């Protein structure tokens, strides 16, 4: 191999190794910020495919229905505790911020937080779901102005 080709080969291998190390560092740093989605049954029993349960202290995203009659609010703070269920066991969620306006018992929510123990999650964000026909009033007005017979009229009829 002539010296010029040998120098190019060494440079190419060095660049590929450098990119591999950089990607490895990026993935390692992102590992702590990745929120995996679980249902209450998957937290208790493990994922269906792998059987892997989340570990205590792991960040995760949980989705389920709020069990009616389990919402407990603290009188002196914003702390709220409620149970989530899907088809099996329940998981308790604690939250210390203002709940979204659409939060109700018996409704589906998604919460981001940390697993405190095997059945308790300390949430730092709660997202309440709404039906797919919802349209914010400002958007409904804007659409109604542009298309008087269009989508905005459906929103004016009280579909949200």
Place of tokens 């450098």: 18
Place of tokens 């018992």: 105
3-state secondary structure of 135: coil
**Which residue, among 48, 57, 93, has the nearest Cα to 72 in the 3D structure?**
93
**Which residue, among 147, 93, 155, 156, has the nearest Cα to 125 in the 3D structure?**
93
| 130 contacts 105 by C-beta, under 8 angstroms | no
CA distance 128 to 116: 22
Task: List the binding residues for heme.
Answer: 130, 134
Task: Specify the long-range contacts of residues 73-79, CB closer than 8 Å, at least 24 apart.
Answer: none
Task: List the binding residues.
Answer: 130, 134
Alpha helices for 31-113 (secondary structure H): 40-45
């Amino acid at each position: 191999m002539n010296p010029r080709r040998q120098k190019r080969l060494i440079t190419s291998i060095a660049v590929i190794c450098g990119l591999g190390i950089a990607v490895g560092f990026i993935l390692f740093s992102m590992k702590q910020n990745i929120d995996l989605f679980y249902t209450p049954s998957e937290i208790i029993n493990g994922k269906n495919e792998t059987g892997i349960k989340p570990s205590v202290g792991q960040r995760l995203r949980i989705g389920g229905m709020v069990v009616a009659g389990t919402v407990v609010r603290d009188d002196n703070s914003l702390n709220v505790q409620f149970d989530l269920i899907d088809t099996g066991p329940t998981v308790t969620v604690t939250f210390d911020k203002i709940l979204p306006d659409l939060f109700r018992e018996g409704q589906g929510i998604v919460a981001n937080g940390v697993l405190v123990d095997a059945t308790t999650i300390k949430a730092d964000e709660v997202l309440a779901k709404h039906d797919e026909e919802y349209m914010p009033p400002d958007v409904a007005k804007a659409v109604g102005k542009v298309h008087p017979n269009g989508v905005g009229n459906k929103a004016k009829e009280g579909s949200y």
